[in-house]
Structure 1
Amino acid sequence: MISRIDLRGSAGDPRELLPRADTDVSAAMEQVRSVCEDVRLRGTEALVELTERFDGVRLTGVRVPRAELDSALAALDPGVRAALEESIERTRRVHADQRRADTTTSVVPGGTVTERWVPVNRVGLYVPGGRAAYPSSVVMNVVPAQEAGVGSLAVTSPPRAEFGGLPHPVVLAACALLGVDEVYAVGGAQAVAMFAYGAGECERADMVTGPGNIWVAAAKRLLKGVIGIDAEAGPTEIAVLADDTADPAYVAADLVSQAEHDVVAASVLVTPSEELAGKVEAELGARVAATRHSDRVAEALGGPQSGIVLVEDIAHGLAVVDAYAAEHLEVMTADSAGHAAAVRNAGAVFVGHYSPVSLGDYLAGSNHVLPTGGSAAHTAGLSVQTFLRGVHVVEYGREALAASAAHVRALAEAEDLPAHGEAVAVRVGAGQEAQT
């Protein structure tokens, strides 16, 4: 069901040997190019036609009426509403602590640089809607944008034929709970293009965030520069670093829970214990057969993106998981906290035997929009900072400028840009430059 990869004694680069989903965003870019251009040229008319082609839904308009949001919230199961409200509260508490304060540095007497943190003006938030409904992704996108102070935000999610061409009602209800009333029934690459160029009632945005399928990732890559993006989200993934103190039932349950997302989802166990590996394999056999989406889970676990990786010891395991740079990394070892503190590359780290990824998906307070495909080595997950721009405000008085003039002119001459120095000299007079 799940393959084994033995890295014990291997001297090669682990990144070349570890399992990884095979996705070609570059090829997908060429396929979405015409879609994005169509939206740019024809706006809402193109969105309607593309939605009918790709989603099998014929829309009369792409914006979800406010009455539908209110109706979805009124019909929401009380237990789900209570869970969403708790998720919102916890997520808001964590993200409120991410707010940054402006700082002013006195560089020289009379010369300061202030770093102001300014939110982007308008963002488009993408909520997936393929095999499942993702109200949790509404929370994870909207809360940090609100906490950053974004003034205008819109949510889009693919329409569903079974809901009359609207996004899933629980997604609409989550939007209503968060006070978001600008919601669109558009998915895929055309949704990214809608935010990038504007279409009908949807004004163009400065940034688009949120996970999606390969077509969404391809459109983000294609339109980056026209619109800001958070990241190119690929297939979801979990890595578990575990030793023989880990409960094989816990490990197997977490591998299965990640695999149920999609047939290309990646579930990877890294362990020095052959005994644990064998017990996890046995647990997987029982759990996969019993889970609701057993066919999907079995295909994901049996794919080239999943596997059990055997390592020399935990130190070797830490090097391997750093090379893998997982979206989600669980650490279940005899010293979970110590080993987790040594991790450098991961979208989010889940420490110990009672911090499963599924807690982070919904209720930990952390954000679940995270870097995938190894990009956690250089990219962070969604946060308040995603929606903020640091703007340097420079203020020097005449004396402070005069004291800096000689150095400015020296560097300007070194770069053969003499007009740079002259722009200072004209203000302070060449004879009044301080020699510092």
Structure 2
Amino acid sequence: MKTRRLLLLVLAVFSLLGVFTAGPGPATAATPDNNAIAAKYAKNPQLGAAITPLRCGLAQGGCYRGYRNGSIYWSPGTGAHMAVGAILGRWGSLNWERGFLGYPTTDESCTLAGSGCVQKYQGGRMYWQRSAGANPVKGGIGARWDQMGAEHGVLGYPISGENCTLVSGGCVQNFQGGYVYWQPSVGSHSVHGAIGAKWVQMGYERSPLGYPTSEEQCGGSPLSCVQYFQGGTINWPTFAGVSVNPYAGSTGVVVNKRRPNSPINQTPPDLAWVGSQLMRSEASWQYSQLVAGASAAGVALTPVSGFRSYDTQVGLYNSYVSQYGQAVADTISARPGYSEHQTGLVMDIGNPNGACSLQACFENTPAGQFAANNAWRYGFIIRYPWGQDWTTGYTYEPWHLRYIGVRTATDMHNRGYQTLEQYFGLAAAPSY
């Protein structure tokens, strides 16, 4: 009994002297972790006086001690390293050693371009620069940034962490000079400069172009650049403006008198019924929302003509040629293979009573007025607007709605673009 009381008394005295401390785990004055932290501190007195006792029992068997101007962290796998300043604060916001970065594996180094600093961790790196703040880089995005020259390259320092809430499981990180995107099916690629600005303006990865699938590629004299995306390319001859070339099959595909369907007799694989007509599935769903919106406003719309096959267009075009001659037929009907209807992204609409069906006076009917004022809200544009024959090659068709996606249609509306040719920076197509 006397021995037990003596042991308890000794433990109490040691506790008062600070040999044992409260915290996440036990600590002693003679463990490897304490020796390593003490040795690190001895070489870095600028940390100032200790403000916490040694605390152990952290993730991976780690320990730390806080000082007036920073902390020292130790783990069996990383050794002892300092964490200070803005990098320490940002690391803390990411859940310290319990977060994706884990423990520091180096001290902070402040010899980078623009007076920047970096510290390496088990799961990545943390960078700080006065105008950019402190932000981590890791994984595929970090690897791409390294390939681009890291902070010395066109992208500069990171100005945000990763955001992995994008469509199709994608991630993005913002840098001073652009972005790096990652998506499982395409990997990581950067977007920046004039090409990046156009892609951003179109709606980022939610535009018809989707995610980047390559880096910007430049060459030739005069210099010309191109970048590939899931749904098309963006071209930038440095002596001219930026142009967008959506692929066949993309909701952004441009079909006109100089850009036929590809293949010329193609049939989209995802057609769905809209009443008695067919459209591609995404377009058909948005058309149903358009009809519902019109109905809520007291306006009835009816589908008149949706998808047309190559063979159907042959018959229709030939009938117009027989009736009006080829010169007139070419202003009111597409030649086979050159019809937007063949994309499955078009619906000619009308009034249920047939008023002004497929005539210019349709614009003054309830259905025509609703479409003119609201189609963009549902991802549609009036593809052949008034006074744009010289661009589109067709006379005014207020009934001809083309699905282009809500983001793109909204951007076109807000920025005052009337035709896809103008919006994408493509050549006018008044004739074949």
Class of the TM-score when normalised by the shorter of the 2 chains: under 0.3
TM-score, length basis structure 2 = 0.21
Q: Which has the higher strand share?
A: 2
TM-score, length basis structure 1 = 0.20
Structure having greater relative contact order (Cα 8 Å, sep ≥ 6): 1
Give the greater-gyration-radius structure (CA). Answer: 2
